[in-house]
Chain A
Amino acid sequence: MTTKAPQGMAVPAAVSEGGAGGKSVEGVPEPTYEWMGLSAEWGTRVKPGEHGLRIGDLNVGIYGEVPEVWEDQTRRPRGALPRPGVPPLPYNLRSKHQMWADSAANLYEEAIQRRWIPATEVPWDSLKPLPDDVERAMCQVCTELMQYANTEIEIITYWQDQMSYGYYEVKQFLATATFDCARFIEALRKRALGNGGGLGVESRGLVNRMILESRGGWTESVAYLYLVRGTFMMQVLRGLLNAAHNDAERMIFAKAIEDWSRHLTYGYDHLKYSVSHQSGEASIMQTLLSLGEVMMAAELEESTMRPALAIVLGGGIAGGRTIGMETFLHLVGDFVRNYLSVCEWLGVPRAEMLHPMLKKYLEY
């Protein structure tokens, strides 16, 4: 028997009593449930552990099988049944060594849990007028760091598009990394526009360009983005936290340090995986780094980050010429020492071949 819906009711316009006492929509074909029996592995019942239910905990049975090569060029989630006839998509990174890091799943969880909100959690009312030279330098540093973060978003998303779904943990983590970058850009912009200043001049961006033009594979981009630029950026963030003028800056840089520590952990972990699982990778890394060091050294010489940071660290132009520049040089020296230490840990020692323009900073 057909019933008419009361006037004004949204869909369904007409329903009929179903055979089993329910109602079915008139004119709609009977659904089939042939797909219901189709699963590569059914009966999985993952339980939350001490730290909740994390994506790493889901790696049980076939769902935890992470192959060395993932031939499937579709969006099929790992562990789902393939459907014949789905056209391939350009997922060009299909080998584990091209993106994997064991830490990716945990880093994803960590990023989700340790999120922060610049709009409401940064104490913006702690911003107070600074001397003009310091405010200008601070705003210049913010401007350059925004470009660092823009670059990171662009290179991650370029490659993320090409990463196969067999290694979804990495794609998940990188999604959080791009969000971290977006949030950092937001916080920096708010800092620059919130204290009587404004944005400074665009960076020439030698290293940004090097990162964005690294098209030999994600691993190459990781070497430039995290091992070269990232290791330097971490020192910059630490220096800025140390020189914070107020609680707003203190929070922004403290949080950024934690965010970028995750990025670097992924980056170093991936490079380590790649070097130890792919024959010849260590040698390739040597070549890449010898090129990367040249660009990094050139940027350190000519970038406006150098004088701007010196002024911030020195508390003004006068201090920037003395203690500020001295602190900056020491900061760069720490970067180079950390860089060499990580290279050694990776099995790609650079101490003997370090570019002279970087080596000179070891004096500080």
Chain B
Amino acid sequence: MPQFPSLDWFRKVRDVYNSDTSLHKGGGGACHTNAAFRVNGQAYLIAFEGQKIGDIRAASTDELKDVDFVIEMPDDVWKAMIRNVKEHGKADMRYTLNSIDLQQEDGIAHSPTDDQYRQDLFYRYNQNFQDFFDASARVETTFG
């Protein structure tokens, strides 16, 4: 049973997401972005490639400058979000990325290079990222 957060967990979720197009509510294939999710000090780089998610790997802080944006939130919020997704089959209204972003003082998404264009990708493809995390409802998860 994969543990959150871990590379294994993100890859398991990717496999679920890639294997079932009914999970893709974010619309057509135009979702091309390299994002990073930062959990408890560790960053995971994720390449969204149209309808699929490609490579996922752990990354150093230095590598973050090359991504379009980073999603970062307190460890307990990450875990509450994943638990909420599991409980409801998808995030309920309190735990969508949009809701959490609104609730956090400085938001949860930022561009490491302060590039407005790249940061806007978080909103342009928001549903794809939500679909990804909603896919985690099908992954049995333990928490570290």
Contacts and interface: CB of A to CB of B under 8 A. Distances in A.
Nearest to A114: B27
A110 B30 contact: yes
Contact of A110 (B114, B117, B124): B124
Interface string B102-134: 100000000000101100100111110010000
Nearest to B51: A113
A345 interface: yes
B32 interface: yes
Interface stretch (A39-47, A91-99, A239-247): A239-247
Contacts of B99: 241-242
B93 interface: yes
Interface stretch (A5-13, A159-167, A217-225, A254-262): A254-262
Contact of A113 (B28, B117, B127, B130): B28
B116 A114 contact: no
A241 B27 contact: no
A328 interface: no
B96 interface: yes
B6 interface: no
Interface residues of A, number: 34
Contacts of A268: 116-117, 120
Given A113-B29, A242-B93, A244-B93, A261 B98 contact: no
Nearest to A235: B102
B117 A265 contact: yes
Given A113-B29, A250-B93, A258 B124 contact: yes
28 contacts: A51-B29, A51-B50, A52-B29, A103-B117, A109-B30, A110-B30, A110-B124, A113-B27, A116-B27, A238-B101, A239-B102, A241-B98, A242-B98, A242-B99, A244-B93, A254-B98, A254-B130, A255-B27, A257-B123, A257-B126, A258-B123, A258-B125, A261-B123, A262-B124, A269-B117, A272-B116, A341-B116, A342-B116
